[in-house]
Amino acid sequence: MKKSIGVKSLIYPNPVLVVCTYDAAGKANAATLAWGGIASSGPAALSIAVQPPRYTYAALMSRKAFTVNLTPAKYAAEADYFGLVSGRDVDKFAATGLTPVKSDLVDAPLIAEFPYSLECVVKHTLDLGMHTLFIGEIKDVKAEGEASDIWSDFELLTFDAGSREYRAPGKAIAKAFESGKKFIA
Ligand SMILES: Cc1cc2nc3c(=O)[nH]c(=O)nc-3n(C[C@H](O)[C@H](O)[C@H](O)COP(=O)(O)O)c2cc1C
């Protein structure tokens, strides 16, 4: 018998998305987002929910483009770091050693080491309160491996917003808002 556990922004599995943008000066930035997912298949579109204070928010508003990079579990600490500090203050790619690569289609970078990236242009925004929803039309997907077998070697990092732990489906593997601190000088 199910019982009420209250109003929660909680779903499982919840992939850890790393959203990449360029700032006004052309510096590549990466921010970790838990709130996002596929929104439509015709046109192919996804949604991401971004709080206005984020540096990423300003970049989304001005460049109207972003990439969503699915996070392999082995990059849990890097993704956590991307969610702990702001591109307003630091160069997150320089700090982690990950590689931004300019998309050939949209005005945003991909992460070379992450094997699955969606290239998007901003089509709509919707102010929901704490977050603004950005609807991005998917212009292309860049993936390693065969299109028919992308996921068999992909150990996806997911986020449990209840316990604030990262999971590589099944087991908790790192502390959220904690494990990335090793990159903070
Ligand atoms: C696991 C995790 C999930 C997060 N999810 C979101 C989210 O869905 N939306 C959001 O606006 N911020 C989210 N954040 C916070 C941003 O990643 C964080 O504020 C980051 O510093 C923003 O970087 P920026 O200022 O360079 O854009 C999340 C952080 C973590 C660690």
Question: Quick one: tokens of 134?
Answer: 């950005």
Please name the fold of domain 14-183: Pnp Oxidase; Chain A (2.30.110)
pLDDT of 148: 81
**33 CA → ligand 1 middle, Å:** 5
Q: What pTM value is reported for the model?
A: 0.96
Does residue 106's CB lie within 6 angstroms of at least one atom of ligand 1? no
- For ligand 1, atom 10, which residue shows the shortest CA distance? 50
Question: Ligand 1 centroid to 25 CA: how many Å?
Answer: 21
Is the CB–ligand 1 distance for residue 180 below 6 Å? no
Domain positions in the chain:
14-183
**91-118: pLDDT as tens digits:** 999 999 999 999 999 999 999 999 999 9
Q: Residue 49 C-alpha to ligand 1 middle, in angstroms?
A: 9
